[in-house]
Structure 1
Amino acid sequence: MELEWAVEFLKGMIKPVAALAVVAMAIALSYFQKLGLEWEMAYSIFRAFLQLSIIGFVLDFIFNQENAIWILMAYLFMVSVAGYTAGERAKHVPRGKYVAGASILVGTGITMFLLVVLHVFPFTPRYIIPVAGMMVGNAMTVTGVTMKKLRDDIKIQMNLVETALALGATPRQATLQQVKRSLVIALSPVLDNAKTVGLISLPGAMTGLIMGGASPLEAIQLQIVVMNMLVGASTVSSIMSTYLSWPSFFTKAYQLETNVFSAD
């Protein structure tokens, strides 16, 4: 009995191992095209294999628990990793990792709370953890782009911002256009994906359900919920990141903090 799970796991890994053939094709193409990506491809696939294998065992354990603390621990872990990753993208934003983490936490937390209160999803690990993972992943990408774009735009248009400040505008008023531009650029991929979902590709949640035996109508219903929550969480997180990051761009005297914009 103790070895049955290991045998079943190894049997299930036959297809993933067979799928390495397409990775070998990509590595071969990289070699012949002299791209120099062979080792990075191999390392990326190995890391993905290792991470997914570990998380599979962890989720199997968590799904069998009824204590809500496991849900919160998994959620906070995902938010922490996402905040660090988004902060790395916007590394020139002061305290970027904390800003990104707080923004992602607020955006995904509010969205998840509404979904649970409205009984869209039950508060169980099997539902909450995968849903939270999708929201946190999208919020991470959007938040990182928003923060980086906002800082870069202000740096490029420092003269315009300083002129507005000299005329009596508040920091928020002086950077209103830069904030709008960064939000539009960051959220455009999410909105474009919502516009074309089902027409160009079938999203992961929908594909997984169909391949698992669910009817296409059931898969569509879940995917609609997923798209709604991704738009909501991404929008709240990105807007929150602008409110939390822009004060660090200015001094207490409402002047641009030149140290923030001097780095490349």
Structure 2
Amino acid sequence: MEWGWLLDFLRGMMKPVAALVVVLMALALSYMQKLGLEREMMYSIFRAFLQLSVIGFVLQFIFNQQNSAWIILAYLFMVTVAGYTCGQRAKHVPRGKYVAGASILTGTSVTMLLLVLLNVFPFTPRYIIPVAGMMVGNAMTVTGVTMKRLRDDIKVQMTQVETALALGATPRQATQQQVKRALVIALSPVLDNAKTVGLIALPGAMTGLIMGGASPQEAIELQIVVMNMLIGASTVSSIVSTYLCWPAFFTKAYQLETKVFSAG
């Protein structure tokens, strides 16, 4: 087995280790200001260092394989973790983890399929896994906000929703304003980021390419694709989550499931 890549990996970690000096600065400032964050800072840095190091080994292994099944397994793992994390944020939504997971899976897989069919990205680990990671992470944030906001808005405006239901409205019609508000709030950061991209800060994908030696033009082309796919995946995921939430919010008789809104 060839272990040259391991030596290269260890050499590459010298700079991240050297960069810990800025963490020591943050620890010193936290101590001087009596913030009490020193232990949490050290734990966070250690966990990030460990997780990224392990991921480095895993990705190197996957990149060396010629089996597309590894791509799917890696993608499903990311979706599972994202669904669980998202469900924790929207913990008062029944079956929130499953709703979030299904929504993220739908939004990101549809977006990825279109990109592959249009030959924007080749179906190889080196392209699909990083791209999928960006989409899943972004969809996780947007979906979590959508689910939580929708549930909270319906709770606050239960009287208005119940009145609409009593007048013969369907759950969709009765919660139209709440759904719209939740989606607008959840998607606004993604859209604002697209409006200001490159003006306030260079995005990660673009910065990585430039630092890796790619031309600014190549970096810009990729970043435009990334912004487009993030908007597409986030929009689909958030909308799907609103449809999947409804069965838990209403009874079969089209009445609000009060026990869902009694907690929190």
Q: Which residue matches 1:54?
A: 54
Query: Which residue number in structure 2 is paired with residue 14 of structure 1?
Result: 14
Q: CA deviation at 1:6?
A: 4.1
The runs of 4+ residues in structure 1 deviating greater than 3 Å are 1-7
Alignment match, 2:121: 121
Provide, for residues 90-120 of structure 1, a one-character-per-residue CA deviation record: whole Å limited to 9, x for no partner: 0000000000000000000000000000000
Structure 1 pair 105/3, CA: closer, same or farther in 2 (3 Å)?
closer
Gaps of 5+ in 2: none
Aligned match of 1:233: 233
Instruction: Decide which moves more: 147-156 or 31-40.
Output: 31-40
**Structure 1 equivalent of residue 37 of structure 2:** 37
Q: Matches of 2:138 and 2:70 in 1, distance apart?
A: 22
Shift of 1:2: 6.2
> What do residues 122-151 of structure 1 show as CA deviations (whole Å, max 9, x unaligned)?
000100000000000000000000000000
Cα distance in structure 2, aligned partners of 1:189 and 1:207: 20
Q: Aligned to 2:120, what secondary structure does the other structure show?
A: coil
Residue equivalent to 2:106: 106
Q: Give, as a single letter, the amino acid of the residue that structure 2 aligns with 1:247.
A: P
> SS of the counterpart of 1:100?
helix
| TM-score normalized with structure 1 length | 0.98
Partner of 2:24: 24
Deviation per CA, 1:196-255, whole angstroms, max 9, x where unpaired?
000001001100000000000000000000000000000000000000012211111111
Query: Is 1:97 matched with 2:100?
Result: no
State how many pairs are aligned.
Answer: 264
- In the other structure, the counterpart of 1:212 is 212
1:86 corresponds to which letter in structure 2? C
Higher mean C-alpha displacement, 202-211 vs 12-21: 12-21
Name the aligned partner's letter for residue 23 of structure 2.
V
Q: Distance in 2 between matches of 1:3 and 1:188?
A: 46
Q: Which residue of 1 aligns with 2:245?
A: 245
- Counterpart of 1:54, as a letter, is V
Distance 1:213 1:6 in 2: 23
- Tell me the SS of whatever aligns to 2:201: coil
Helix, strand or coil for the counterpart of 1:120? coil
**Alignment-derived partner of residue 154 in structure 1:** 154
Provide the residue aligned with 1:84 in structure 2. 84
Alpha-carbon offset, residue 4 of structure 1 = 4.3
Range with bigger deviation, 206-215 or 9-18: 9-18
Shift of 1:34: 2.1
The residue type paired with residue 230 of structure 1 is L
Distance 1:242 1:24 in 2: 44
How does the TM-score come out when normalised to structure 2? 0.98
Q: 1:70 to 1:218 in 2, by over 3 A?
A: same
Letter matched to residue 131 of structure 1: V
Indicate the residue corresponding to 2:180 in structure 1: 180
